[in-house]
A and B are shown apart, each in its own frame.
Chain A
Amino acid sequence: MSANPIQPVAQSGTYGPGGQALPGRTPTRAIVLWLFVAVLFDLLPWHDMRGIPDLVSLAVLFWAIHESRRVNVGSAFFLGLLMDAANGVLIGQHALAYSVLAYGGIVLSRRVLGFGLWAQAVHVVLLLLLNQILLLILGMAAGGTFPGWSYFIGCLSAAALWPVLSLLHQLGEQAREHPTTPH
């Protein structure tokens, strides 16, 4: 970790010479926990969906960018299937959109992590917007109606959470690197 704790460091999947994990590697249980919390959040009984971010897509993108060797297109696909069934929509709709999203995150991972947090958030807005447009196309091809422009607010609110998630992630990394610091 660098001296400045705010400046993100491109360290996705740091492996030692023998292939074993260095201390900077996020434990699997943290990844699973975040994805789990995101799924729980999406299954909350909201009264009005407008402006509520799709946290699962954000979590998929987050780990695709930060841990692009472990959270791959396949995990995104299965999360998408789960969301399809839970929301009662066409099976495969979210699966396809999340797969494309994860691919985008993996491919742009190095590039995005080189930027500051707010510039990262801009990349995230664009990727999530792509995800939503894909969902919109699939939904309308399946016979849905245009849900109105407020549908796109969700990706803005999700991207606004990006710096918060990144800071939390960095705090977690620091806590693991220096176990003596209280957390």
Chain B
Amino acid sequence: MQANSPPLFVRGPSPLVRLLFFGTFAIVLMVFDARFGYMGPLRQGLLWLSYPLQRIAGAPADLFHSVSGFLVNQTRLQQDNASLREDKLRAARDLLVLEAIRADNERLRALLGARERANPGAVVAQILYTGRDPFTRKVIIDKGSQAAVAPGQPVIDADGLIGQVTRVHPLVAEVTLVLDKEQSIPVQVLRNGLRAVAFGSGDGSTMELRYMAMNAEIVVGDELTTSGIDGVFPAGLPVARVTHIDRDSAVQFARVLCAPKGGPGKGAELLVLTTAQTAPAAYPEEAAPVRSARARGARNARRAPEATSP
């Protein structure tokens, strides 16, 4: 044991003392982070340190992608081109219809006096790396608050919803995936409009609809989209497809499992919807005039005697 040898050379505190010191320090940091959330500045400082490392670590993969993209063969390119052109034509038809529908929608909403649905802006981001933590499902993307990314914004890819921005730093942001157990998304069955809440099941590949009644009108293969009632996720984003339904009468609710549509495993490019948060403001805005009108009314009523008294 080192502790028994005579202290001929200066060695500093013994390992046990160091362990006790740093261990206590770590526990204090954890408590402050978990309970009070005071660790924001420290976290950002450490991320400034690790950001260049992340870029360096990602560089070989980026290089590989660009080189393998350079070396694709001619036939593959031609095939890709043909299919892309076909897709574009199909999309163009849909777009033309969409324009007409959008105009229709605007007119109908004007007739109904409903608020216009916001058209969210978007930031294209790339996945830098996936979080190493096995307890949560997170990815780190290469856009942060400098690119107008803010906590709460939905993140999508070409196939559907991927997750939500949960923590933002100047240059990077953390996206909690829909697979995370803490992540819940209000959804709607596309077929019949049935509303539900989808949670990550925590196993890394499926989501589940909790609190579904035993006789709920839902079948395997149903498409789920965001319902938009939370005001965070815009309505109509594809989320998942129902893959398995377990109606066991021994438990209170039906067990509905579904497979998410979008996934970070499919591609590195993501879209962060930056101005999607319109609905939460809608309620206070609508409520505020009522309240202020009432307050004004009350004020007027109070002022009325004064006005009449002189």
Contact = CB atoms under 8 A, between A and B. Distances in A.
Contacts of B57: 40-41, 43-45
B30 A92 contact: yes
Contacts of B33: 90-92
Contacts of B131: 87-89
B134 A49 contact: yes
A96 interface: yes
Interface string B224-267: 00000000000000000000000000000000000000001100
Nearest to B166: A88
Given A89-B133, A99-B19, A45 B128 contact: yes
B47 to A, nearest CB: 5
B43 interface: yes
A43 B9 contact: no
Contacts, number: 158
A93 B135 CA distance: 12
B159 interface: no
Contact of B132 (A49, A81, A102): A49
B53 A77 contact: no
A140 B26 CA distance: 16
A84 B33 CA distance: 11
Interface string B121-134: 00000011111111
Contacts of B264: 47
A45 B33 CA distance: 26
Contacts of B1: 107, 110
Contacts of B135: 89, 139-140, 142, 144-145, 147
B27 interface: yes
Interface string B1-41: 11000000101100110110111011111101110000100
Given A40-B57, A45-B128, A90 B30 contact: yes
A157 to B, nearest CB: 14
A92 B27 contact: yes
A87 B34 CA distance: 15
A107 B2 CA distance: 8
Given A88-B167, A90-B33, A91-B30, A83 B19 contact: no
B22 A90 contact: no
Contacts of A69: 11
B260 to A, nearest CB: 15
B199 to A, nearest CB: 11
B192 to A, nearest CB: 32
Contact of A151 (B39, B127, B134, B268): B134
B246 to A, nearest CB: 20
B35 to A, nearest CB: 11
B63 interface: no
A54 B132 contact: yes
23 contacts: A36-B53, A39-B50, A43-B50, A43-B129, A45-B129, A47-B264, A69-B11, A72-B12, A72-B15, A73-B19, A74-B18, A74-B22, A81-B29, A85-B47, A85-B49, A85-B50, A88-B131, A88-B140, A90-B33, A92-B25, A96-B23, A138-B30, A145-B202
Nearest to B59: A40
B190 to A, nearest CB: 29
A45 B30 contact: no
Contacts of A80: 26
A99 B57 CA distance: 25
A77 B131 CA distance: 19
